[in-house]
């Protein structure tokens, strides 16, 4: 659903947000503090296998997106957590109106992450 991210980025830019930023110091590595689209990298913890992003887009609240990997026997489990702290009635309305689209968007995102992962085996 790259088209949905592109639309969200254009809307964000129109309302005074950062928009869908592209480019960072390195295309191959991420560092704490790097901008990733309209997210800011807050945590990269290889030891705990945790990655946390903070949304810098215009929102009626605050949002974080977290990925963590847990080893279960010989397999790995990817956990994706989307956290939204609404601000006022507009924040709650935003959450309820966009809940279902976010479910599809975030499911697609985790599938793409898995597809590109070196740990993932299809089937």
d(CA 13, CA 57): 9
Question: In this structure, what token pair is assigned to residue 87?
Answer: 């601000």
Instruction: For the beta carbon of residue 33, count every other beta carbon within 10 angstroms.
Output: 11
Question: pLDDT, tens digit, for every residue of 68-93?
Answer: 999 889 888 889 999 999 999 999 99
| pLDDT, position 67 | 94
Beta strands in the chain, from DSSP E residues, in sequence order = 35-36, 39-45, 50-55, 61-72, 75-86
Pick out the chain residues at pLDDT < 70: 1-2, 5, 19-25, 118-123
Q: Is the sign of the CA dihedral 90, 96, 100, 106 positive or negative?
A: positive
Q: Which residue has the tokens 């793409």?
A: 112
């Amino acid at each position: 659903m790259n088209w949905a991210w592109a639309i969200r980025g254009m809307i964000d830019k129109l309302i005074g947000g950062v928009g869908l930023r592209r480019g960072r110091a390195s295309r191959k590595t991420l560092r704490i503090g790097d901008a990733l689209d309209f997210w800011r990298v807050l945590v990269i913890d290889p030891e705990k296998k945790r990655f946390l992003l903070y949304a810098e887009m215009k929102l009626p609240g605050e949002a974080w997106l977290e990925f963590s990997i847990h080893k279960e026997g010989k397999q790995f489990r990817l956990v994706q957590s989307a956290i939204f702290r609404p601000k006022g009635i507009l924040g709650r309305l935003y959450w309820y109106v966009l809940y279902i689209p976010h479910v599809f968007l975030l499911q697609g995102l985790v599938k793409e992450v898995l597809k590109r992962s070196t740990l993932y085996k299809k089937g």
